[in-house]
Amino acid sequence: MMRAFRPTLVRRVFLALLVAFSLVWIVLLGRDFLEAKDAAAFDAKIRAVGDNLLASIAPLDSDAYAGAVVASNAALINETYRGNRLPDVLVELRDAGGARVYVSPQAGPASLQGPPGSFTNGDVNGQPYRRYHGRHGRWSLTVAAPQLSTWSMFRLMGGSLTLDMLIAFPLVLVPVWIAVRRGLRPLRTLSDRIAARGPDDLSPLGVAPRHAELQPLAGALDRLLDQLRHRLARERGFVQDAAHELRTPLAVMSAQAHVLVMATDPDEREQAGRRMLHAMARASHMIEQLLAMANIDDGKPAAPGEVDVAELVRSELALLAPAALARHIDLVLDAPDTLRWRLDLHAFQAVLRNLVNNAIAYIPAHGRVHVGLLRDGARLVLTVADDGPGIPLQERALVFERFYRGAGHDMPGAGLGLAIVHEAAARLGGGVGLAEGIDGKGCRFVVTIPLENPHA
């Protein structure tokens, strides 16, 4: 039962046509009603009937012939009126002496005569009439048309107009219905093609609709499937890489745990403990990075809030300063006293922490890390520069990939820091670039954030 009342395009087209025809019927009925209520137009029609009758009998000299012509014309006119159940039009013909030659039987003994060339009003048998009095040659003619009530006008005009609309409606509906059914056939084909697919089939649909309106839909579906294929491949690679990276510290912990259990030498046990703690720290860092990447990549950005970015950067650098001091690295901040900005706080913190941590970890001891913050028109610009070994030009396009770790160093890491920076910068509505660092050495990461975050 509920299936019969589900909305369908065919039913919607039918209802739309029904509404359109109803509106057309109302507009035409209103137009005809206003024309019928126009007294000048009504008088012109009566005058035209009277003048035409007078012109047709003007050459006649016989009262009998003239009366017969007027009677036959009056009968023709009244056939239409009677078909619509309206009072008859009355006609009275008089000769030059004023003698009545013919009068409509419905008028009875009542006289319809009036001043030639004038219009008068009067009742005949209780029905109001509008009369036109004309004269031509020896003939005087009065034509009396019934004055209809508002309801009678609507009934007269609505009846004939409704019949016309009822005839026209199916003539319009059938071609439109056929066009809609045929037009939806490719959409049903597309739907059947998708329904027949397996859950893991993300290959292109291979459907090329001839209709221009359906081509964007088929193209959008193919693009969506392509995005899903790449997303699944990326996630599958992500899981594999994460498992590979976690396997090493877990293997170390397992081996060192075995040493701790089996070793009897205190020095050996102490060394095994240190190695286990190092592996645990590495695994913990990996898990934190994976969680950070998952939070950044979940597609649900937090609502931006207004913060003092300069104070935020100072607070974050204060937390990172001990790591820099431990390696005798000069950590410098160049920022205004205050700089308020609307942004996603967690995404910005992820950018800053990973860039500064990377710089501290990868440059040699006694190096320099310079953090800059400024407003450039409608953009917030954060820079983190160092004087370390830098990144070769051929690797700069790859360092933002997940789990990519460049050659030429033996520092432990998961290869997720710069990937997090890239994703977090995109979350902020901006981007990150890489250039030469301090004094032409090392790296300079430049993060730009627009005034309005388009992802917010």
Site of tokens 């431990």: 326
- What's the rounded Cα separation, in Å, for the pair 332 and 382? 13
Alpha carbons within 13 angstroms on the beta-carbon side of residue 91 total: 26
- What's the rounded Cα separation, in Å, for the pair 51 and 46? 9
Q: Is the Cα torsion angle 355, 358, 361, 363 positive or negative in sign? A: negative
Q: Vertex 22, ends 18 and 25: CA angle to 5°?
A: 140
Contacts of 3 by beta carbon, 8 Å cutoff, 6+ apart: none
Report helix, strand and coil shares of the chain as percent, to nearest 5: 55, 15, 30
- What's the rounded Cα separation, in Å, for the pair 325 and 29? 91
Residue 113 contacts residue 133 (beta carbons within 8 Å):
yes
Looking at the chain, the domain(s) classified CATH 3.30.450 span 37-148
Alpha carbons within 13 angstroms on the beta-carbon side of residue 238 total: 17
Domain over 37-148 is classified CATH 3.30.60:
no
CATH class of 302-450: alpha beta
- What's the rounded Cα separation, in Å, for the pair 101 and 381? 107
- What's the rounded Cα separation, in Å, for the pair 388 and 441? 6
- What's the rounded Cα separation, in Å, for the pair 158 and 153? 8
Both structure tokens of 270:
């102490």
Q: Vertex 437, ends 406 and 453: CA angle to 5°?
A: 85
Q: Which CATH architecture has domain 215-294?
A: Orthogonal Bundle (1.10)
Q: What is the pLDDT of residue 398?
A: 72
Cα 197 to its chain centre, rounded Å, is: 28
pLDDT tens string, the chain, 456 residues long: the values are 445 556 776 777 778 888 888 888 888 877 877 776 677 888 888 899 888 988 888 888 888 888 898 889 888 888 877 766 778 889 999 988 888 889 888 887 778 888 888 999 888 888 888 899 999 888 999 999 888 777 766 666 666 677 778 888 888 878 877 877 777 777 777 777 777 777 777 777 777 777 777 778 778 888 888 888 877 776 676 666 666 566 767 777 787 787 777 877 888 878 878 877 877 776 776 666 666 666 666 555 556 778 899 999 999 999 989 989 999 999 999 999 999 998 888 888 888 988 998 888 888 899 999 999 999 988 999 999 999 888 887 777 777 776 655 554 545 555 677 888 888 888 888 888 888 889 888 889 999 998 764 443
Q: Is 336 helix (H, G, I), strand (E, B) or coil?
A: coil
Q: What is the pLDDT of residue 296?
A: 65
Both structure tokens of 143:
């034509």
Looking at the chain, the domain(s) classified CATH 1.10.287.130 span 215-294
The sheet with strand 100-103 has its strands ordered as 100-103, 90-94, 139-146, 127-136, 118-124
pTM (predicted TM-score)? 0.47
- What's the rounded Cα separation, in Å, for the pair 303 and 291? 20
Looking at the chain, the domain(s) classified CATH 3.30.565.10 span 302-450
Q: What is the pLDDT of residue 336?
A: 92
What is the rounded end-to-end Cα distance, in angstroms, of the chain? 44
The DSSP call for residue 405 is -
- What's the rounded Cα separation, in Å, for the pair 17 and 20? 5
Burial 221-259 (b: 16+ CB within 10 A, else e): bbeebeeeeeeeeeeeebeebbeebbeebbebbeebeeb
Q: Vertex 454, ends 305 and 376: CA angle to 5°?
A: 75
- What's the rounded Cα separation, in Å, for the pair 287 and 414? 9
